[in-house]
Structure 1
Amino acid sequence: MNGPARHFKGNKQSLPSKPCAACGRPMAWRRAWARNWDEVKYCSGACRRGKHRGSDG
């Protein structure tokens, strides 16, 4: 890996994050979400399908 990716490697502290709407866990920005980060609500497919309800049950 050359270029900007090499400089970034392993430094997720500077990336934006927000809590998952289903489980509340913090999720860090991903390159796949670059175009629609404002619309991303769930950290995974399981949370999106509603199978993970969080600690309240």
Structure 2
Amino acid sequence: MKGIKKQHLPTKICPVCERPFIWRKKWAKNWDNVKYCSEKCRRTTQKI
């Protein structure tokens, strides 16, 4: 992903807050499995 401008990075919609979030380098290996934009949103779904 080196050399790609931010506007061209892949995005997803968080199912909890319904906001778009952009690909991060730490998610490079498992981008297909990433569902939530943050730890807070991930924890919110577990309480419901």
Q: TM-score range by the shorter chain?
A: 0.7 to 0.9
Structure 2: which 5+ runs fail to align? none
User: Which ranges of 4 or more aligned residues in structure 1 deviate by more than 6 Å?
Assistant: none
Structure 1: which 5+ runs fail to align? 52-57
Q: How many residue pairs were aligned? A: 44
Structure whose CA Rg is larger = 1
Structure having the larger proportion of residues in helix: 2
TM-score by length of 1: 0.68
TM-score by length of 2: 0.79
Q: RMSD value over aligned CA atoms?
A: 1.7
